[in-house]
Amino acid sequence: MIKSDSISELAGALCKAQGEIENASKNASNPHFRSKYADLAEVLNTVRPVMSKNGISISQFPAFEAGVASVETIVMHTSGEWMSGISSAPVQKQDAQGVGSALTYLRRYSLAAIAGIAQEDDDANSSIGGKQQTQQKPQQNPQQKLQTPDPDVVISSINKATSDADINKFVSAARNRGVDDAGMERIQEAAVNKISELGGA
């Protein structure tokens, strides 16, 4: 995270705003987990009026490079104070739809984190192994009798990684070796968290 020299007024305004913001209602379905979660529009509808009332605005700038989607989120206050952070994640399907989906996820993830919103049944939380999770068995090619890696083992490797390149390698290997959609969701979530952690180190 980077910030202006002082964020005292921004911190006070953000504290007031978070005290007024309620958790976003769950208005979208995740087909992988048959659960409900608050989509980006609902999070924006929940956060924006309260932030604006307290003199806070939020801008988000998407980017995509070398297979990794990134969103920089800048929180600004009427005093001129600001702070900024970047969330990144490797993109599974590198086409327009895949990149757009990853960027939307990162925008929602970042905005909810800044606002202190908990989305109890959202697709991110379900993918970390909540009770709502219903994993599908991967359909294996008879010719491909390679061991499909255990998502927990892949996540452990991601958590020990020291570079974005290593994280991307683990994600790609898991996808290429037949990890199912539910497992890939969990791996993607771990990758997002670790890349964010490395970026803030």
**Number of structural domains the chain divides into:** 1
Kindly report, residue by residue over 45-69, the tens digit of the pLDDT: 888 889 999 999 999 999 998 889 9
pLDDT at position 53? 92
pLDDT 10s digits, 166-196: 888 888 888 888 888 888 888 888 888 788 7
Full-model pTM: 0.54
> What is the rounded CA–CA span in Å between residue 16 and residue 142?
58
Supply 100's token pair.
């757009």
Residue 178: the pLDDT is 82
Could you tell me where the DSSP H helices lie in the chain? 8-20, 40-53, 96-115, 123-126, 151-160, 164-176, 181-199
Cβ(158)–Cβ(169) under 8 Å?
no
Task: Kindly state the average pLDDT of the residues 6-35.
Answer: 70
How far does Cα 129 stand from its chain's mean position? Answer: 16
Q: In which domain, by residue range, is 102 found?
A: 2-199
| pLDDT > 90 in the chain, percent | 23
- How many residues make up the chain in this entry? 201
Q: What is the pLDDT of residues 87-138, one digit of tens each?
A: 898 888 888 888 888 898 888 888 888 888 765 444 443 333 344 444 444 4
